[in-house]
Structure 1
Amino acid sequence: MIIKVLERFRDFVQNLPLWTKTVTWTALFIQLVSFMGLRTSKLALSWSNVFQKHLVFEVYTYVFLHISLLHIIFNLVSLLPVMAKFEKEHGTFACVFITMLPYTLFPAFMHLIFYRFIFAKESISIAGFSGWAFAFISATCIHNPQGPIQNYIPKHWIPLIYLFITTIFVPYASFIGHASGAAAGYATPYIFEHIPLKLWAEKVDSIGSRFKGYQSYDELAYASLPIAEPSTGNPKFPGTGTRLGT
Structure 2
Amino acid sequence: MPSNPTHMLKLGLQRTTSYIDHLPIFTKVVICIMVAIEAAALLPGWKLKSWGWLEPDLVNFSTLYRTNTYPLMHIDVFHLTINFLGVVPLLERFEKEHGTLISLALFFGPFSTVPALIYVVIERGLLGANTPILGSSIWGFLLYASEAIRENATVPYFIIWGQPTIPTWTVPIAALLLAIVVTPGSSALGHACGLAVGYLCMHSLFLSSRP
Q: Distance in 2 between matches of 1:69 and 1:189?
A: 32
Note the C-alpha offset of 1:149. Answer: 6.9
Match of 2:96 in 1: 88
Unmatched 5+ stretches in structure 2 = 1-5, 160-164
The structure where helix makes up a greater share of residues is: 2
Q: Is the 8 A contact 1:102 1:184 kept in 2?
A: no
Are residues 1:110 and 2:105 paired?
no
Q: Is the 8 A contact 1:82 1:136 kept in 2?
A: yes
* Distance change >3 Å, CA 117–CA 59, structure 1 → 2: same
Match of 1:228 in 2: none
Q: Distance in 1 between matches of 2:126 and 2:88?
A: 33
Alignment of structure 1 residues 32-181 onto 2, 5 Å: 32-37=39-44, 38-40=46-48, 41-51=50-60, 54-122=62-130, 124-145=131-152, 146=154, 150-151=158-159, 152-181=165-194
Note the C-alpha offset of 1:117. Answer: 1.5
Alignment of structure 1 residues 187-226 onto 2, 5 Å: 187-192=200-205
Q: Distance in 2 between matches of 1:22 and 1:194?
A: 32
Structure 1 ranges of 4+ moved more than 4 A: 1-4, 146-149, 190-195
Number of residue pairs the alignment of both structures matches:
194
- Residue by residue over 1:211-235, the C-alpha shift from the partner in whole angstroms, topping out at 9 and shown as x without a partner, is xxxxxxxxxxxx8xxxxxxxxxxxx
Note the C-alpha offset of 1:35. Answer: 2.2
Q: Is the 8 A contact 2:53 2:133 kept in 1?
A: yes
Q: Is the 8 A contact 2:149 2:203 kept in 1?
A: no
Q: Is the 8 A contact 1:107 1:176 kept in 2?
A: no
Q: Is the 8 A contact 2:114 2:197 kept in 1?
A: yes
Q: Distance in 1 between matches of 2:204 and 2:99?
A: 16
Amino acid of the residue matched to residue 87 of structure 2?
A: L
Note the C-alpha offset of 1:175. Answer: 1.6
SS of 2:133's equivalent? strand
Note the C-alpha offset of 1:172. Answer: 2.1
The alignment's TM-score, normalised by the length of structure 2, stands at 0.81
Q: Distance in 2 between matches of 1:119 and 1:76?
A: 30
SS of 1:150's equivalent? strand
Q: Distance in 2 between matches of 1:26 and 1:10?
A: 16
- Residue by residue over 1:137-193, the C-alpha shift from the partner in whole angstroms, topping out at 9 and shown as x without a partner, is 111110122569721322111100011111233122112211111111112235557
Amino acid of the residue matched to residue 174 of structure 1?
A: S
Amino acid of the residue matched to residue 138 of structure 2?
A: G
